[in-house]
C-alpha cells in the first residue's frame, strides 16, 4: 500500500477532535480569566489607592503566583486538560509552563536541572513574544506615528 | 525470518504494576502493585528500576530459584541508554543483554532468549521489560505537571515491569515458533497517533509468520498485538484485509485491555513495552494454564520514535516481532 492510500485509511479511522466545543470552553474560561484579572486591577487600585498601571502589575504578580502555586499543588495540569487554551494562553499558562518544567527537573540539580530546563516550554513563548512585540511596535509607529 | 523451537518452555512469569494499571480490569491478577509513581524512590527513573528489580525477584521467588541458577538476563526499556535496565542489573547481578526495540522489546527479548535456550547455549534465561508513564512523558513529550491537551488518538504509557523465565526444562507452556519483523514506515509523522504508525508493521509480521509456517490466522485461539490502541486496532484489521487478504477474527489488542477505557483518562488506550507483558503475564497466562486458551501469538509492536527525528519532519518507523506460545499436554 502506498503512503497516500494508507493516509486515507488512517484518516478514515481517526476520530475528529471537537474543535467547536474546545474553542467554546477556551473562550469562556479565557473570558472568565480576563474578568478575574480586571477585578483584581479594580480591587488593587481602589483599596490600595494606587494608579491603574501599578495595579495591573500587581494583578500579573497575583496570577503568576496563583498559576505557580496551583501547579505545585498538582491541580493545574488537570485544569489545563479541561480548559485547554483558556488557561494556557493567559499569563497563568506562562507561569505554569515554567513551573512544571522546573518541577520535572528538580532532582537533577539547580544548575544542570532546574536552570537548564526551566525555559524548555517558556523559551518559545519569550522568543515569539519579543519578536512579535518588536514587529507590532514598528507597525504601530509606521501607522500611528507614536 | 521465522524460527521453530523444540525444547523451549515458559516456566514462570511475573508482573509489577503501577497505580493506573492496578485500577484496570486485571488489577487483581498482578503479583505486586504500587499505588504511587515513585515506588518509594526519589525519581521516576529510579522507580522504574525498582519495579524491574521487583519483577525479577518475583519471578525467581515464584519459580523457586536463586539468582545464581539463572544463566542470562535479557532486558530493555524505553528510556535513553536503557538506564532502568542498566541500573537495575547492577543490583540484580545476572549476566545481561540489554536491548532496545521500543514497545516490541518484550518479544524481541523472548526470541533472543528462546534461540539461545533452543541451541543449548544456556539452560534458562530471564526476559524482562519495564516502562514508566511519567518517565516516558518527561523524555518524549512535555513535563508531566504541564498536562498539555492531547488528541483522542494519543496513548498512555503503562507503568510497571514484567519478567518471563524461559527454560529448557519441560513445562506446561511451550515456546513454539517466532518471527522477527522488519522496520516499516508508511509516512506517519504524528507522534500522537502511534497506533497508525505501528499497524502496518504488525500486519507484516503476522502475515510473514503465517506464510512461513503455512498456517491460517484461525490456527491461533488468540492473536494479541501490543499497543495499537482503539483506532490502531481498527486500522490493523482493515489494512490486513486490503493488503494481505487475511481476516483477523481472533485478534485483540492489549492497549484496549489493560485499562478501563470508559472511566480512566487514557485516551486511545495503553502503550509502552510493558503493556503487552502485563496483560499476558497476568490474565492470559492464567487462562492458558487453566486450559481455556491453548495457542497464542504475541505480536509486540514498537514505534521507533525519536523526538529529534520527528522535529526534523521525518516519519515514525516501526517494527513488530511475533512469538507463538502453545499449551502442551504431553508432559503432565
Does A91 map to a domain?
yes
- Which residue from B minimizes the CA distance to A75? B145
If pLDDT is split at 50, 70 and 90, which confidence band does B161 have? very high
**CATH classification of the domain holding B144:** 3.40.47.40
Q: Work out how many domains chain A is built from and give that number.
A: 1
The answer on B130 and B28 residing in a single domain is yes
The minimal CB distance from A9 to the residues B147, B193, B235 is found for B235
The pLDDT of residue B45 is 94
| Rounded Cα gap, residues B53 and B87, in angstroms | 10
Grid cell in block for residue A135:
514587529
- Which residue from A minimizes the CA distance to B151? A17
- As a whole number, the mean pLDDT across chain A is 91
Does pLDDT of A98 surpass 80?
Answer: yes
Q: Which domain holds residue A36?
A: 10-104
Q: Work out how many domains chain B is built from and give that number.
A: 2
Give the residue with greater pLDDT, B319 vs B145.
Answer: B319
Shortest Cα–Cα distance, B168 to chain A (Å): 41
Grid cell in block for residue B132:
514508566
- Which residue from A minimizes the CA distance to B42? A107
The minimal CB distance from B42 to the residues A6, A107, A121 is found for A107
Chain B residues contacting A, CB < 8 Å? 42-43, 138, 142-149, 151-153, 186-188, 193, 196, 200, 231, 234-235, 238-239, 242-243, 265
If pLDDT is split at 50, 70 and 90, which confidence band does B268 have? very high
Residue B331's CB: how many other CB atoms inside 10 A?
Answer: 10
pLDDT in tens, B10-59: 999 999 999 999 999 999 999 999 999 999 999 999 999 999 999 999 99
If pLDDT is split at 50, 70 and 90, which confidence band does B146 have? confident
Shortest Cα–Cα distance, B53 to chain A (Å): 22
Shortest Cα–Cα distance, B219 to chain A (Å): 26
Does B332 map to a domain?
no
The pLDDT of residue A75 is 84
Shortest Cα–Cα distance, B147 to chain A (Å): 4
The answer on B180 and B84 residing in a single domain is no
Cβ separation A100–B235 shorter than 8 A: no
Does pLDDT of B3 surpass 70?
Answer: yes
Where among B167, B190, B221 does a domain terminate?
Answer: B167
**Helices (DSSP H) in chain B: which residue ranges?**
19-22, 44-63, 83-92, 105-118, 133-140, 194-212, 229-244, 254-257, 275-279, 285-289, 307-311
Does pLDDT of B8 surpass 90?
Answer: yes
- A96 to A79, A115, B149, B261, B306: CA distances (angstroms): 11, 16, 14, 29, 26
Does pLDDT of A79 surpass 90?
Answer: no
Q: Could you tell me the end-to-end alpha-carbon distance of chain B, in angstroms, rounded to an integer?
A: 32
| Rounded Cα gap, residues A17 and B40, in angstroms | 38
CB-based contacts of B6, cutoff 8 Å, min separation 6: B118
Does A140 map to a domain?
no
Count of CB contacts below 8 A, A vs B?
78
Q: Could you tell me the end-to-end alpha-carbon distance of chain A, in angstroms, rounded to an integer?
A: 60
| Rounded Cα gap, residues B298 and B79, in angstroms | 23
Closest to B79 measured CA to CA, from B107, B48, B56, B111? B48
- pLDDT average, residue stretch B53-67: 95
The pLDDT of residue B331 is 56
Does A135 map to a domain?
no
Cβ separation B187–A7 shorter than 8 A: yes
The sign of the torsion formed by the CA atoms of A55, A58, A64, A68 equals negative
The answer on B26 and B90 residing in a single domain is yes
Which of A1, A4, A8, A13 has the highest number of chain B CBs within 10 A, making it the mutation to test binding with B?
Answer: A13
Shortest Cα–Cα distance, A144 to chain B (Å): 39
The answer on B115 and B93 residing in a single domain is yes
Question: DSSP state, A17?
Answer: P
Chain A residues whose beta carbon lies within 8 Å of the beta carbon of residue B193: 10, 14
pLDDT in tens, B307-326: 999 999 999 999 999 999 99
Where among B167, B197, B216 does a domain terminate?
Answer: B167
pLDDT in tens, B201-239: 999 999 999 999 999 999 999 999 999 999 999 999 999
The answer on B184 and B41 residing in a single domain is no
The minimal CB distance from B146 to the residues A15, A22, A121 is found for A121
The sign of the torsion formed by the CA atoms of A113, B308, A68, A58 equals positive
Does B240 map to a domain?
yes
| Rounded Cα gap, residues B228 and B323, in angstroms | 17
Chain A residues whose beta carbon lies within 8 Å of the beta carbon of residue B238: 9, 12-13
Closest to A55 measured CA to CA, from A40, A69, A70? A40
Chain B residues whose beta carbon lies within 8 Å of the beta carbon of residue A97: 146
B74-92 b/e with 16+ CB inside 10 Å = b? bbbbbbeebbbbebbbeeb
If pLDDT is split at 50, 70 and 90, which confidence band does A85 have? confident
The answer on B220 and B152 residing in a single domain is no
Q: Tell me, yes or no, if the pTM score tops 0.90.
A: yes
Q: Which domain holds residue B304?
A: 173-327
The minimal CB distance from A74 to the residues B145, B187, B200 is found for B145
Amino acid at each position: 500500500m502506498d503512503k497516500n492510500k494508507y493516509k486515507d485509511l488512517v484518516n478514515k479511522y481517526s476520530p475528529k477532535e471537537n474543535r467547536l466545543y474546545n474553542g467554546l470552553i477556551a473562550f469562556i474560561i479565557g473570558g472568565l480569566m480576563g474578568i478575574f484579572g480586571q477585578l483584581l486591577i479594580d480591587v488593587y487600585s481602589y483599596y490600595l489607592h494606587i494608579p491603574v498601571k501599578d495595579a495591573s502589575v500587581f494583578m500579573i504578580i497575583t496570577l503568576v503566583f496563583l498559576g505557580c502555586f496551583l501547579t505545585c499543588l498538582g491541580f493545574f495540569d488537570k485544569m489545563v486538560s479541561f480548559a485547554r487554551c483558556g488557561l494556557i494562553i493567559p499569563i497563568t499558562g506562562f507561569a505554569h509552563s515554567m513551573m512544571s518544567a522546573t518541577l520535572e527537573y528538580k532532582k537533577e540539580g539547580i544548575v544542570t536541572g532546574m536552570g537548564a530546563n526551566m525555559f524548555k516550554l517558556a523559551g518559545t513563548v519569550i522568543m515569539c513574544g519579543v519578536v512579535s512585540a518588536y514587529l507590532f511596535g514598528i507597525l504601530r509607529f509606521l501607522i500611528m506615528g507614536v | 525470518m521465522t524460527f521453530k523451537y523444540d525444547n523451549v518452555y515458559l516456566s514462570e512469569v511475573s508482573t509489577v504494576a503501577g497505580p493506573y494499571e492496578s485500577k484496570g480490569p486485571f488489577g487483581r491478577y498482578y503479583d505486586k502493585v504500587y499505588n504511587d509513581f515513585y515506588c518509594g524512590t526519589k525519581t521516576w527513573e529510579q522507580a522504574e528500576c525498582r519495579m524491574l528489580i521487583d519483577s525479577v525477584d518475583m519471578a525467581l521467588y515464584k519459580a523457586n530459584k536463586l539468582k545464581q541458577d539463572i544463566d542470562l538476563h535479557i532486558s530493555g526499556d524505553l528510556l535513553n541508554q536503557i538506564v532502568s535496565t542498566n541500573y537495575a542489573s547492577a543490583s540484580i547481578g545476572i549476566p545481561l543483554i540489554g536491548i532496545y526495540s521500543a514497545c516490541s522489546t518484550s518479544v524481541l527479548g523472548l526470541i533472543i532468549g528462546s534461540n539461545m535456550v533452543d541451541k543449548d547455549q544456556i539452560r534458562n534465561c530471564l526476559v524482562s521489560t519495564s516502562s514508566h508513564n511519567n518517565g516516558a512523558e518527561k523524555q518524549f513529550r512535555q513535563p508531566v505537571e504541564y498536562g498539555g491537551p492531547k488528541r483522542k488518538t494519543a496513548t498512555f504509557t503503562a507503568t510497571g515491569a514484567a519478567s518471563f523465565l524461559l527454560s529448557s526444562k519441560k513445562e506446561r507452556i511451550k515456546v513454539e515458533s517466532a518471527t522477527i519483523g522488519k522496520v516499516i514506515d508508511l509516512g506517519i509523522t504524528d507522534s500522537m497517533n502511534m497506533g497508525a504508525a505501528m499497524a502496518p508493521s504488525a500486519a507484516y509480521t503476522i502475515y510473514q509468520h503465517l506464510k512461513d509456517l503455512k498456517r491460517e490466522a484461525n490456527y491461533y485461539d488468540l492473536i494479541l498485538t501490543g499497543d495499537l490502541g482503539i483506532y490502531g486496532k481498527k486500522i490493523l484489521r482493515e489494512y490486513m484485509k486490503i493488503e494481505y487478504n487475511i481476516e483477523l477474527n481472533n485478534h485483540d489488542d492489549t492497549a484496549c485491555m489493560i485499562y478501563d477505557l470508559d472511566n480512566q483518562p487514557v485516551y486511545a488506550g495503553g502503550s509502552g513495552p510493558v503493556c503487552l507483558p502485563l496483560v499476558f503475564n497476568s490474565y492470559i497466562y492464567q487462562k492458558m494454564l487453566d486450559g481455556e486458551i491453548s495457542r497464542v501469538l504475541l505480536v509486540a509492536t514498537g514505534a521507533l520514535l525519536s523526538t529529534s527525528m520527528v522535529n526534523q519532519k521525518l516519519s515514525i518507523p516501526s517494527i513488530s516481532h511475533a512469538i507463538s506460545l502453545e499449551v502442551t499436554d504431553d508432559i503432565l
